[in-house]
Structure 1
Amino acid sequence: MTEEILLLIGDRIRAKRQEKNITLELLASKAGVSKGLISQIENNRTVPSLPVLLSIVYSLDEDMRGFFESLQEKLRNEKYMLIRKDDTKKISKEPVKGFSYNRIFARAIQSSAFDMALLEIKPGAARRKMVTTEAFELKYLVRGTIEYQINKEKFEMSAGDSLVFDGRQPHRIRNAGHEEALLLIVYLF
């Protein structure tokens, strides 16, 4: 299983769960895990262990072959990829009012994987809880003003500023300006 498949697992779990109208709470209960863990897996913030993955797939009434069937199609070995503006995919990473992610690219490249997205943050929108990811995070603020908190340290970023950090540190973000902020995010797994 390549790192890219690991990135696609969360998307597949969410798609199957939504296709079957199963709530996060119900899936977590059936799989014997927490709602928070299901959310982290669906948002590519963590990779499930094999027993947890098996339990989730079983709880979705899927067999492993069917679950992974079309993932292989997404793993073609192109020489390059050109991603047009209209090819981005709106994704739901977390239920935070005013946050809207557009995935640009998620791909494994030579034993590494990365996920690239644009995050639009409405004025006043903020993540209330601290989160962690199993990746290094690279952020580039395209427009607007945001406040970032990593552990207990808070700082403001303006358009053109960049940030790189280990996502395993608790962190959160809020739009500190009066206009919509646009943030380019790259997760390196």
Structure 2
Amino acid sequence: MNPSSKTPPASRPPAAEPGTDNQAPGGPQFLGTRIRGLRKRRGLTLSELAQQSELTAGYISQLERNLAYPSIPALFNIARSLGVTIQWFFASETQTAPEDQGYVVRKKQRLQVNYENGIIDQLLTPQPTRQLEFLHSRFPPGTYSKESYSHEGEEAGYVLSGSFELWVGERYFQLSEGDSYSFSSQEPHKYGNPGEEDAVVLWGGVNRTPAIRLILLKK
């Protein structure tokens, strides 16, 4: 596939509105509570977390009060500032059969995080504290991760359905069903769905950040 210098569309769909169907683990109520709780345990004020994560205190306050979904880069910045990885925000008290714990994730027990614009990640691996993690990622038509971001680790993916665009550094790739990719997470990257149907991607990652990562994840 030949890389090109194409840039992502300038316009973005409006952020999705939180709804009553998102109160399960990974929904806005759950996510906002975890951000606020971890910030307080770290002894940080809203202003301090905002400065460290390069976001505004008002925006973080909206997230904590469950008035908005985060973007993928924003959640990455918050997680990094709090000493965890994105997948930490997938954690919950979901009941798992004793024989499954640490080994198996049943389809109905997948933990989920919703981002602005309707992007949804479901955690497929049962031990978020391990280095290797897999996500089932769904991108509605016209949704993008917005600006490029980078972090420790490596990533790979397989497009299950739909159209998918990927930027890694200065390279641009168009992918479709059956295509796969991999790259170093330390390279600035962004991605999105240019199509008219949902894009579904099986997303894998190896995080090399040392042990303070409690449990990982994507604006």
Q: Find the counterpart in structure 2 of residue 99 from structure 1.
A: 119
Q: Find the counterpart in structure 2 of residue 138 from structure 1.
A: 156
User: 1:174, 1:79 → 2: CA distance?
Assistant: 33
| Residues 132, 206 of structure 2: 8 Å contact kept | yes
Report the TM-score when normalising by structure 1: 0.62
User: 1:42, 1:77 → 2: CA distance?
Assistant: 34
Alpha-carbon distance change, 117 to 108 in structure 1, aligned in 2, over 3 angstroms: closer
Alpha-carbon distance change, 32 to 141 in structure 1, aligned in 2, over 3 angstroms: closer
Higher RCO by CA contacts (8 Å cutoff, separation 6 or greater): 2
Q: Secondary structure at the match of 2:34?
A: helix
Does residue 147 (structure 1) correspond to residue 182 (structure 2)? The answer is no
**RMSD of equivalent CA atoms:** 3.9
Identity %: 19
Does residue 85 (structure 1) correspond to residue 103 (structure 2)? The answer is no
User: 2:206, 2:49 → 1: CA distance?
Assistant: 28
Q: If each structure's helix is expressed as a fraction of its own residues, which one has the higher value? A: 1
Structure 1: 5+ residue stretches without partners:
1-11, 50-69
Q: 1:140-172, CA deviations, whole angstroms, 9 ceiling, x for partnerless residues?
A: 111001110111111101111111110110011
| Residues 118, 182 of structure 1: 8 Å contact kept | yes
Alpha-carbon distance change, 133 to 145 in structure 1, aligned in 2, over 3 angstroms: same
Q: Secondary structure at the match of 1:34?
A: helix
Q: Secondary structure at the match of 1:105?
A: coil
Q: Find the counterpart in structure 2 of residue 127 from structure 1.
A: 145
* Equivalent pairs, count: 147
User: 2:175, 2:104 → 1: CA distance?
Assistant: 29
1:105-120 alignment runs, 5 A limit? 105=125, 107=127, 113-120=131-138
Q: 1:45-86, CA deviations, whole angstroms, 9 ceiling, x for partnerless residues?
A: 68839xxxxxxxxxxxxxxxxxxxx99xx9x99796122111
User: 2:81, 2:158 → 1: CA distance?
Assistant: 22
Query: After alignment, is 151-160 or 99-108 more displaced?
Result: 99-108
1:136 deviates by: 0.5
User: 2:148, 2:176 → 1: CA distance?
Assistant: 21
| Residues 130, 172 of structure 1: 8 Å contact kept | yes
Q: Find the counterpart in structure 2 of residue 40 from structure 1.
A: 76
Q: Secondary structure at the match of 2:147?
A: coil
| Residues 106, 114 of structure 1: 8 Å contact kept | no
Alpha-carbon distance change, 125 to 77 in structure 1, aligned in 2, over 3 angstroms: same
Q: Find the counterpart in structure 1 of residue 4 from structure 2.
A: none
User: 1:96, 1:84 → 2: CA distance?
Assistant: 26
Q: Secondary structure at the match of 1:16?
A: helix
Q: If each structure's strand is expressed as a fraction of its own residues, which one has the higher value? A: 1
- One-letter amino acid of the counterpart of residue 99, structure 1: I
1:17 deviates by: 2.9
Alpha-carbon distance change, 103 to 42 in structure 1, aligned in 2, over 3 angstroms: farther
Alpha-carbon distance change, 172 to 81 in structure 1, aligned in 2, over 3 angstroms: same
| Residues 116, 184 of structure 1: 8 Å contact kept | yes
Alpha-carbon distance change, 91 to 154 in structure 1, aligned in 2, over 3 angstroms: same
